[in-house]
Amino acid sequence: MRDAAGLVVYVGKAKDLKRRLASYFAPRTRLTPKVAAMMDTVRDLEWHEVRSETESLLLEGRLIKRWRPRWNILFRDDKQFPQIRVDLQDPIPRFRIVRQRTSETARHYGPFPHQRAVRRALNEMRSKFGVLLGDAAPERMPDGRWRLYSGARAQIQRHENEVTEQDYRRRVEEACAFLDGKAAEWAEEVEREMRAAAAAKDYEKAADMRDLLEALRRTTEKSRRFLRENPLPRRDESAGSARLAEALGLARPPETMECFDISHISGTLAVASMVRVAGGRPDKSGYRRFRVKSFEGNDDFRAMREVVGRRYLRLSREGRAFPDLVVIDGGLGQVGAALDAFKDQGLPPPPLIGLAKREETVVFPDGRELRLPRHDAGLALLMRLRDEAHRFANDFNAELRSRRLRESVLDEMPGLGPARRKALLAAFGSIQALRKAGEAEIAAVPGFGTATAGRLRRFLDSRTRGAGEEPADAP
């Protein structure tokens, strides 16, 4: 449901859409105050057909997370679920359970489905890796080392109790890798619970699990607040650029930067994004997105090589300047693929680096690595640029998946192959427009005759009309 300005104010799902809408479009005296207030704002609505109740849960969750509608109060945050936070900027980081994210410099894992499971994981980490939990109070010794525990706790530790910061940092890295695996494991568990609840028609529990699954998946992708939602002040951008020039050995602070990211779902719908910063600000007009054209499958290196080559070959042909710094989301493999793209086109590469996610390590094409402090202004700028590229790529991928979902009704018609489905969408632009077309209009589409057009018309009439569907080329 949308308001007069076109903003989404409510997202819902229904097995029987007619009955569900009747509960909203009813005399005001029969509505609750909340629903009545909501309906006062509604001026338009649209709907999407899906193939199963589980698919509707997933789509509803994605739409709510994307638009954060005013009236979907129950789905607006995940504060009630426990998370694990580790403050990596601390000299001796500790792992603790929190309910909400209050720090941009800390690393968060979760939210997770069950508090008991989180506590069990933390205790396992303390035993397995020798890391500190939130209740520990380490003591700094005169020789610069740290005594992690004192008293009875020190007597039961399996690991060395007096360590240097470097030794302890290695333990933290191992524990973080362990949590990455746990997050993926818990996501699978939550998805199983969600599907089981949906099958049992326990939609309230399924919705809770759906909401948790979306939040958990965002965490395993290491999503952070996006650049467009939380831009740095100009003075911080300038400090970040100056710091980057110093750290990377550049002749001057980079005025323009471009960052690339690849997104796909198990090798399908492979796309790439490129975001651009100019003069310390996001240059939205310079953003670009790419469909990977040269192959199908799961090969991030090959995809990166293709899109980087396409981007800078075009700039070269148009006589436009290259950016002062190119940033690749990934490690040495992705950086090498980007460098190969310049070699393929016979172009001199501008300064080129990668940002490897796991430890936010800067990677150079010659294999060198640089770890900047977590509070470093240059690293913060790179991370924001990388996260914006990640968001832009994921949004494009989600758009394509949503487009496929809207077009999926044609997949259900026997005898209608990919070529003719594509011809229909090219001719009419959307399923909505196709539903309104007569037999003669359909028969005029290449590959269709009177008999096939009649069969398609009857097939569409047998399905619920989707008058509010977006056109196939809508974002």
Q: Number of C-alpha atoms within 13 angstroms, CB side, residue 375?
A: 6
DSSP H or E run through 282: strand 281-282
64, 82, 198, 405 from 11: Cα distances, Å: 7, 26, 18, 17
Summarize pLDDT for 269-310 with one digit per residue, the tens. Answer: 678 899 999 887 888 889 998 888 888 777 889 999 999 999
The pLDDT value recorded for residue 336 is: 95
Quickly list H helices, 42-83: 53-67
pLDDT at 409: 65
Residue the block writes with tokens 């509070």: 375
Which pLDDT band, with edges at 50, 70 and 90, does 102 fall under? low
pTM, entire model: 0.43
**Taking the CA atoms of the chain, what radius of gyration do you get in angstroms?**
26
DSSP for 318-373, written as a single string: HTPPPPSEEEEESSHHHHHHHHHHHHHHT----SEEEEETTTTEEE-TTS-EE---
Task: Kindly indicate the confidence band of residue 192, based on its pLDDT and cuts at 50, 70 and 90.
Answer: confident
Maximum CA extent, the chain: 90
More reliable by pLDDT, 311 or 135: 311
Q: What 3-state class would DSSP assign to 131?
A: coil
Cβ atoms within 10 Å, residue 357: 15
Q: Is the CATH number of domain 413-461 1.10.10.10?
A: no
Q: What is the mean pLDDT of the chain?
A: 79
User: CATH 1.10.150.20 residue ranges in the chain?
Assistant: 413-461
What does the alpha-carbon distance between residue 253 and residue 466 come to, in Å, rounded to a whole number?
A: 53
**CA-based nearest residue to 218, from 27, 420, 398:** 398
Question: Tell me, which fold does domain 234-396 have in CATH?
Answer: Nucleotidyltransferase; domain 5 (3.30.420)
Q: Give Cβ neighbours of residue 249 (< 8 Å, ≥ 6 apart).
A: none
For the chain, give every residue range classified as CATH 3.30.420.340: 234-396
- What SS3 state is found at 139? strand
Quote the pLDDT of residue 259: 95
Reduced to 3 states, what is the DSSP secondary structure of residue 2?
A: strand
H or E element that contains 278: strand 268-278
